[in-house]
Amino acid sequence: MAELKKIATRDSYGKALAELGAEHDNLVVLDADLAGATKTGTFLKAYPQRHFDCGIAEANMICVAAGMSTTGLVPFASTFAMFAAGRAFEQVRNSIGYPNLNVKIGATHGGISVGEDGASHQCCEDFALMRSIPGMVVMSPADDVEARAMVKAAYEHEGPVYMRFGRAAVPVVHEEGAPFVIGKGEILRDGDAVAIIANGLMVAEALEAAEKLAEEGINAMVINMATIKPLDEELVLSAAKKCGKVITCEEHSVIGGLGEAVCSVLSEKLPTKVVRIGVNDEYGHSGPAGALLKQFGLCWENVYEKAKELCK
């Protein structure tokens, strides 16, 4: 795949908040002493009266956001994925999910690509945790363009939303202005040999693998499934029916994430051979993001090898 411009989706999150803030006076942003890292500092600079630093107290921040939402404000509660989905899970479940409040959670630094921060910060369980909350929308964008569109869609959606953004810069695979609809996947490359369903930084890796597979005469379909919940079941079923074989790719545990969501649909409605690529039942560890992603098989080379083996 040709060299593409790379942008971290956490940067996209901060930029999108600032842009939306100019359009909507009821948008407020909360952070837990991490505005520089989550990039909500961009919003803080533009709208200091609508940015609230709750300190290193993520559970309290979630409850503050819940309260704000009952007054007509649309709060975006922002912190690392490990703290938003992990540390504050009870508050997300009971204070946002249970009353179905209009709170948006912007979780940055998800997955192995957090790198040197190590296992304590490499949250690979957030999709599973957030998917378990009734009514919660769960999403992970592929690139800058999709991330910015996703933040806008989250604002317009009535109800709780969890969005995961990355620390590492990732290739921009979408054209500027590409549409985004919550709950809809998209075919980025058509094919009939194997369907590769990916999200987050694994979308670019899947596209790279598909190009290499094409050189071997294997025509792979690549689907970007940015919304994990609600899953685009219709697209999953049509891709499985056309290809007969499916590979899922995510920077998340193979337990409870995109792969499991896809398998649940197919096992009930169209039994299909599925190979899940993700973090196995193990913790990460400290190291450079690129090296860690390769070590854990979250790279185009592994997708390519798995697809070749599946298509034999």
What is the strand order of the sheet 273-279 is part of? 186-189, 220-224, 194-198, 245-253, 273-279
Of 3, 19, 23, 58, which residue is the catalytic one? 58
How many Cβ atoms sit within 10 Å of the Cβ of residue 265? 17
Q: Are strands 227-229 and 137-139 parallel, antiparallel or unpaired?
A: antiparallel
Helix (H) or strand (E) holding 269: helix 258-269
CA distances from 83 to 57, 91, 159, 288 (A): 9, 11, 21, 22
Question: Are the CB atoms for 298 and 289 separated by under 8 Å?
Answer: no
Establish whether 208 is a catalytic residue: no
Question: Are the CB atoms for 127 and 164 separated by under 8 Å?
Answer: yes
Spatial distance between the Cα atoms of 6 and 182, rounded to a whole number of angstroms: 24
Active site residues: 58
